[in-house]
Structure 1
């Protein structure tokens, strides 16, 4: 993967990729594997971007698809990674499993269905209902209802933990 492409087209969206990968992994090693695979898939499929949506929306779609695909795989051995370690810029920002409050939130999010996880992550990224609907393939009304229900489930789960 060219460093120019990475610097200009992926690194500015690393926060998006980090949050999505974090929501679908349980440890730092898996997180790094998912992150690398997402970056690799973005690079491989960059020519398929058709400009019907924003680049960030497309990054979300690719990230979600990669993470959901990995969840369905039984074996780590079938993964092909871009490299053995993440770039320093990502490692400095990720520290994905360090903060206990964030770990509790992600743990609660992991109890949601795959689609609900995607929806709440997009909501936490302050995406509009229209953008969320576009990314997950739903209507804006449905997204509004689902977000309300997801928040209720997360609150209930977090209160039970206290």
Structure 2
């Protein structure tokens, strides 16, 4: 079966941003199975929304918004029966890969501290760690620039406290 231009463009974008998606998954899930499930769910949501992407914002901004919304939605779905979609139905083949290049001990300490943050704080941290500007964060999260700056200062202090107590 020959892939369409849309499918090829989507796969190219996914290859470019797969580590970003993985980082979102790691922020919201603790074990490998849950991380893989969330990864696949984000891919599916991205594929469903991809034809509607109009390029009015950066692709990474659009991707973050969908990935974070999917991750946040997954929390509310945990108590209800989860509907699954077979990724093969969408003819998407993106292998799950481990995050490479991070020092495991430091990564684990930071990850453990971040897991103790609330959902909004986690979203802000992941965007901050990806060097997103406060303007980009405002667009992705819908939180004012000034409020984001205050929250980020409080989050930094909270993370310092959490990592120093280890």
Into which bin does the TM-score normalised by the smaller protein fall? 0.7 to 0.9
Structure 2 length normalisation: TM-score? 0.84
1:94 is aligned to: 99
Unaligned runs of 5+ in 2: none
Counterpart Cα distance in 2 of 1:117 and 1:21: 11
Q: What is the aligned-residue RMSD (CA, Å)?
A: 2.4
1:51 Cα deviation from its structure 2 partner? 2.2
**What is the aligned length?**
157
1:49 is aligned to: 53
Kindly report which structure 2 residues correspond to 1:1-162, keeping only aligned pairs within 5 A, or say none.
Answer: 4-73=8-77, 74=79, 77-82=82-87, 87-88=94-95, 90-91=96-97, 93-94=98-99, 99-161=104-166
Structure 1 length normalisation: TM-score? 0.86
Kept in 2, the 8 Å contact 1:36–1:81? The answer is no
Secondary structure of 2:57's counterpart equals coil
Distance change >3 Å, CA 99–CA 81, structure 1 → 2: farther
Secondary structure of 1:78's counterpart equals coil
Kept in 2, the 8 Å contact 1:33–1:81? The answer is no
Kept in 1, the 8 Å contact 2:10–2:50? The answer is no
Greater displacement, 49-58 / 118-127: 49-58
Counterpart Cα distance in 2 of 1:32 and 1:75: 19
Greater displacement, 129-138 / 73-82: 73-82
Give 1 or 2 for the bigger CA radius of gyration. 2
